[in-house]
Amino acid sequence: MGNRKESDVKTPSPLTLITALVTGMIAISFAPILVRYSDAPVSVQGMYRMLFTVILMLPWGIKYIKQIRLISVKDWLLLSVAGFFLALHFLLWMESVNYTSIASSTIILALEPVFVMIGAYFVFNDRPGKAAVIGLFIALIGACCIGSGDIGISRSAFIGDVLSLLGALAVAVNMLVAKRILSRVPSYLYSLIVFTFTFVFFAAYNFTVNIPVSGYPAKEWFVFLLLAIVPTVFGHMIFNWLLQYVKATTVSMTVFAEPVGASLLGVWLFQEYISDFQIIGGLGIIIGLVMYLRSEQQQQKSSKSTVQLEG
């Protein structure tokens, strides 16, 4: 499938991009809450989360049928790789919620931008500005403050931390692959195919390790459906769409909002305690995110001005 011309892709307004970014940030905050509510194995949660997402997407995906035939063998391979790492991310991170607190699990996941920034530097030669790097580290310091009350306290918490860290690395690889292929494949079609691959990998995993995929109560099926609608359709799909217009590191920075929202929901729904350090850390995350996004916006304006002068 040939590269789409830049002129063929209409860039949405800044308000539209910000609204989409905020919507995605709020949606993903509900992911650990829903995982905690379920008693089913995380691989089953992940499998039905992807299955229901694909079913919900299919009616609007029919118009892309002709474009499927234009996808190259190389891009199909990349799509399968993206699906594998997304499945790995869900498997590792969702399991971490069962070992450690919601705050710690989501905080460790917030290290994702570090991996994305390093990967983007080597893969895309994407060099972030100094202000962006400073904002990133401020947000990371804030993330450490939020998780400081729980990380390393017990063996269970340590296992959860490691699982979440590996999950962050997996989703960073997924985002870098997405950034590479979204210049050739529409975001909706990309999401539909990758989510299908993710479902297949989960189904294969459950079959291989003999995990039952049926016989669950109605409550579990409702949670599976909510996992598909809230953090997936209104979270991951929106982020995939945003990758067409902003840097991979910018989208990955949104994970800093998840610990804040998820931790507050954890306090409300599960009475999980949040310390003063965690509150301060949440403010640090917001400050760091604002610094990064402002630096990103200024860098994009500067690049456009340079292109116009050269033209």
Q: How far apart are CA 291 and CA 305, in angstroms?
A: 21
Mean pLDDT of the chain: 81
- The arithmetic mean of pLDDT across residues 155-162, rounded, is 79
Residue range 104-114, pLDDT digits in tens: 788 778 777 77
Better-predicted residue by pLDDT, 211 or 31: 211
Sign of the dihedral defined by the CA atoms of residues 103, 231, 250, 182, in that order? positive
* Burial class, 103, CB count within 10 angstroms (exposed 0-12 / middle 13-18 / buried 19+): buried
- The arithmetic mean of pLDDT across residues 152-171, rounded, is 81
- The arithmetic mean of pLDDT across residues 252-277, rounded, is 71
Mean pLDDT lowest for which of 40-44, 187-191, 263-267?
263-267
Cβ atoms of 99 and 163 within 8 Å: the answer is yes
- Asked if the model's pLDDT at residue 133 lies above 70, the reply is yes
- Please state the domain extents for the chain: 13-310
Q: Which two tokens stand for residue 263?
A: 């931790």
Residue tagged 């919620």 (tokens)? 97
pLDDT of residue 1: 52
Cβ atoms of 299 and 132 within 8 Å: the answer is yes
pLDDT of residue 146: 62
Of 308, 53, 260, 311, the C-alpha closest to 147 is: 260
CB-based contacts of 200, cutoff 8 Å, min separation 6: 83
Q: Report the share of the chain in percent with pLDDT over 90.
A: 31
Better-predicted residue by pLDDT, 29 or 146: 29
- The arithmetic mean of pLDDT across residues 57-84, rounded, is 91
CB-based contacts of 216, cutoff 8 Å, min separation 6: 40, 44
- The arithmetic mean of pLDDT across residues 93-105, rounded, is 85
Better-predicted residue by pLDDT, 112 or 192: 192
Q: How far apart are CA 150 and CA 276, in angstroms?
A: 13
Residue range 209-259, pLDDT digits in tens: 999 999 999 999 999 999 999 988 888 788 878 877 877 666 766 666 677
Model confidence, pTM: 0.79
pLDDT of residue 5: 45
Q: How confident is the model at residue 261 (pLDDT cuts 50, 70, 90)?
A: confident
pLDDT of residue 35: 92
pLDDT of residue 311: 47
pLDDT of residue 62: 87
Sign of the dihedral defined by the CA atoms of residues 175, 179, 184, 189, in that order? positive
- Asked if the model's pLDDT at residue 9 lies above 80, the reply is no
